[in-house]
Structure 1
């Protein structure tokens, strides 16, 4: 078992210094973890995670953030307003049913593009911000030109700020694959991680953000302890660690205002969510969506729900029970539901946010 540490680094102007050293997480981590500004006062019941892909690769605007955008994000995240924790520490707290420090946020990067090594890593390292890179092993192993090499991944993985996660071998559509194909693909990537980096990741990001119950079953079988999608939202105590949302950042959706909203988001805690799986059958399309809100019920009448295929949706209130109705059938592929609820004093800009993926085969 590895003996891992996480540092608590503060960025408030009055205390830009090392707060202390914590011990633990050997079960969960494959690299040391650094946490910033992790004061326990103002503990909250949730966290959010932001997701990047490319940095300064302006010919890919849908997956890229401009370097000026990224630097503005780093400045905001190190302003003292947020608690930036390593992803394994966020997962550890979630699994242990522990509260989170105020405005807890994690940073993830998908696909291991070369600009992670040349642009993102130097800036995040200088700022002292921990992050997780989710790697699909086939592009790296085949030496694709715009991806990091194994040598670069070995170098970056030695940084105690960095955790390596998996994004399978072939970056397949897991939700469309049969169980034996999933098992084989994950085995290939796990073997390569072991060979090239000396360890197997314990965190997975589902390619394209697509998952359902059988994908989660295969991920658990392969040894992962948590899984991340690409649907927006925050998560917290009691949420399924294999259905974790993330806020995607790119050129069009990477403004400082959106970063602030995402990094300060809290979960809408719910129970009895219907439907119980991601995949929507043809005879139940559009799906009947319902859930019971278990927190922030004093402002429950302000909840609003949207989907990317229909826009604002009809919401029916039955006490704490919310029923969401769509008029249009979901198209083939991914549809994302977002429900938001203001929290705290009026005008403080914070929201509770519930995200859900639906998929039509």
Structure 2
């Protein structure tokens, strides 16, 4: 059954790519793929990381009725690596942590709609038999459907952007490498492969984590909003979080139909905040194209809309500056920038994470 479904999934993906290649109207869509991240599928888990099974089914129904091409993340990343077009209306479903509600609530719906999902596993909790997670037996069972693949979510699921007291950079990198490879080895033994995909715990990452993961042959999967594109950084693949009000159908429709804002570069590139006391300045170079430049708007967590200054508009590129009126808050914040399409009823989207470590407890 797994091989049969895998064959038909391959045929569907191939057909979508052929359609994209021959119909120029889909060319813009082929440069973006929307990746969604879920955690719990339940009513008795934290609202900030949960959707109800009923809402998840509404998501799947919308995707099915509107002819979205739902593919594995590994398939999307292979197209990214080869710089091949994504299928039109490309969507990827992911779930972090391998919670038991994936098995009890999400999996029956995935079978019903025949949609694949990529699940990122935190191996320590599963190894220790914590009841909130699926067991290895359950994970192997649903893997056999041909609709599930797995990725690395670390062994211990710590705030890895924080160093231990007295820890040198060499010791820090050694700790990162040890945790990530331990999870990799367990996943290989229990499930066969992690597909070279690593989802950052809490969506947190820094320069050292990216370098260690790159050395280990991974691509990094983040947890801040925006569609991925062929311009995306392989160590910072964006995903739209699906939980609470951010997963309601109105928001869901906007997000799955969005495209990646064509950002060529963004500074600062390291999301860890170095200056805690002053307003934050983000400078971006964009490829000019099918978005309404004068309607581009940026928003900062807990500060609302922030000013956008166009520094330069060339024939093909433009440079903008986004400056927040106040310093970023403690913990995890972000700047979201969106622009409506000049042609088409959808938005372009870019998100820039900021991690303020001045109070480590604010990350919890």
Q: Residue 244 of structure 2 aligns to a residue in which SS? A: coil
Q: Could you tell me how far 1:187 is from its partner in structure 2? A: 1.9
Task: State the Cα deviation string for residues 272-311 of structure 1 (Å, max 9, x = none).
Answer: 3111211120267433211111032662111000111311
The count of aligned residue pairs is 336
Q: Residue 180 of structure 2 aligns to a residue in which SS? A: helix
CA distance in 1, matches of 2:52, 2:18: 29
Q: Could you tell me how far 1:102 is from its partner in structure 2? A: 2.1
Indicate the residue corresponding to 1:105 in structure 2: 91
Indicate the residue corresponding to 1:212 in structure 2: 206
Q: State yes or no: 1:254 paired with 2:250.
A: no
Q: Residue 189 of structure 1 aligns to a residue in which SS? A: helix
Indicate the residue corresponding to 2:301 in structure 1: 308
Q: State yes or no: 1:183 paired with 2:177.
A: yes
1:330 to 328, 331, 334: 328
TM-score (norm. length: structure 1): 0.86
* RMSD of Structure 2 on Structure 1 (CA): 2.4
Q: Could you tell me how far 1:252 is from its partner in structure 2? A: 2.3
Cα 1:286–1:8 change in 2 (3 A) is farther
Q: Could you tell me how far 1:121 is from its partner in structure 2? A: 1.0
Q: Could you tell me how far 1:231 is from its partner in structure 2? A: 0.6
Q: State yes or no: 1:144 paired with 2:130.
A: yes
CA distance in 1, matches of 2:286, 2:4: 37
Q: Could you tell me how far 1:200 is from its partner in structure 2? A: 4.2
1:358 to 351, 354, 364: 354
Indicate the residue corresponding to 2:362 in structure 1: none
Cα 1:299–1:119 change in 2 (3 A) is same
Cα 1:244–1:199 change in 2 (3 A) is closer
Task: State the Cα deviation string for residues 131-178 of structure 1 (Å, max 9, x = none).
Answer: 100000011001011110111112222232211011000001121242
Q: Residue 231 of structure 2 aligns to a residue in which SS? A: coil
Indicate the residue corresponding to 1:14 in structure 2: none
CA distance in 2, matches of 1:138, 1:38: 42
The 8 Å contact of residues 280 and 358 in structure 1, kept in 2 or not, is answered as: yes
TM-score (norm. length: structure 2): 0.86
Task: State the Cα deviation string for residues 306-326 of structure 1 (Å, max 9, x = none).
Answer: 111311111101222111011
Q: Could you tell me how far 1:59 is from its partner in structure 2? A: 3.7
Q: State yes or no: 1:197 paired with 2:191.
A: yes
Q: State yes or no: 1:48 paired with 2:42.
A: no
Gaps of 5+ in 2: 164-171, 358-364
Indicate the residue corresponding to 1:29 in structure 2: none
Indicate the residue corresponding to 1:166 in structure 2: 152
CA distance in 2, matches of 1:108, 1:290: 30
CA distance in 2, matches of 1:289, 1:219: 25
Cα 1:248–1:332 change in 2 (3 A) is same
Higher helix share: 2
Q: Residue 158 of structure 2 aligns to a residue in which SS? A: coil
CA distance in 2, matches of 1:127, 1:52: 17
Cα 1:222–1:323 change in 2 (3 A) is same
Q: Could you tell me how far 1:61 is from its partner in structure 2? A: 1.4
CA distance in 2, matches of 1:6, 1:99: 20
Q: Residue 48 of structure 2 aligns to a residue in which SS? A: coil
The 8 Å contact of residues 190 and 201 in structure 1, kept in 2 or not, is answered as: no
Q: Could you tell me how far 1:58 is from its partner in structure 2? A: 2.8
CA distance in 1, matches of 2:202, 2:284: 25
Q: Could you tell me how far 1:241 is from its partner in structure 2? A: 1.6
Indicate the residue corresponding to 1:233 in structure 2: 226
CA distance in 2, matches of 1:233, 1:139: 29
